[in-house]
Structure 1
């Protein structure tokens, strides 16, 4: 009986990471660590999620957010997520995290390369628009689109 419970639990967790979010999906509640290694929850109050998968797209979003007030993301019911799973851990610890800690905004981090919840397009960040935790639209944006995202 205990083996069945463990197996079901593992399959449930695996299914969370095995398919990408689609329009109409309810994202539920999930947590990711930020650049200070503090867990932050993404819940139905979030209306905008921006996810970057590359160094350049992440830098563009960070530069944009760094030019805003410290509570900009919170006021806009938004989160910024950076997928750093492909980065070697030594580079992450020695260079990337110290640089990220200089930013005044929170950056949620994906360390697990098997986390495929978010879709990506090369050279762009992914923008998820949500309402009550349900994905209403998914689009791909560049740094030139960031100001328009928050109007």
Structure 2
């Protein structure tokens, strides 16, 4: 009896540890943790990355969020994001392929700023997001300091120092 009870307790502890590790892996963008490495391309099909100098990741995972980012960034001069140690990352994985190829990517190629593009549904699935909001992920030396959600051009402009 003692052995069975003891083994069940050990199994319970092991299960709890495994679950905790699984949950930690399910949300990789957490304060204090390094930002997960990404192997993505930009709108010109060139390698794109978040560099160690990056201080802000502007992450859009839906149409409204993308439109908000475009509204704020489109009028800015070339080099604007770099001057603020910021990058723009768009999750376009839920967009139909035909729409992505025919409309979205050609429109992005016309922009003066670089956009990291994710077309794989799993790549950014655990990244923090809220409906109709842009996620701002603040970094320091490649580690996540915080993340917040913005829904208005005034909030995004303020975050970019405009």
TM-score normalised by the shorter chain: which range applies? Answer: 0.7 to 0.9
Question: Which protein shows a greater Rg?
Answer: 2
Shift of 1:134: 0.8
Conserved 8 A contact 1:85-1:112? yes
- Please tell me whether residue 80 in structure 1 is matched to residue 88 in structure 2: yes
Conserved 8 A contact 2:28-2:35? no
Please name the residue that 2:137 is paired with: 128
Please name the residue that 2:41 is paired with: 33
C-alpha root-mean-square deviation of aligned residues, in Å?
Answer: 1.5
The Cα offsets for residues 71-130 of structure 1, whole Å up to 9 and x where unpaired, read as: 000111100011000011111111111111111111111111012242100110100011
Cα distance in structure 1, aligned partners of 2:145 and 2:120: 26
> Which residues of structure 2 form unaligned runs of 5+?
1-24
TM-score, normalised relative to structure 1 = 0.83
Q: Which runs of 4+ in 1 moved over 4 A?
A: none
> Which residues of structure 1 form unaligned runs of 5+?
1-16
Please name the residue that 2:146 is paired with: 137
Please name the residue that 2:158 is paired with: 148
Please name the residue that 2:12 is paired with: none
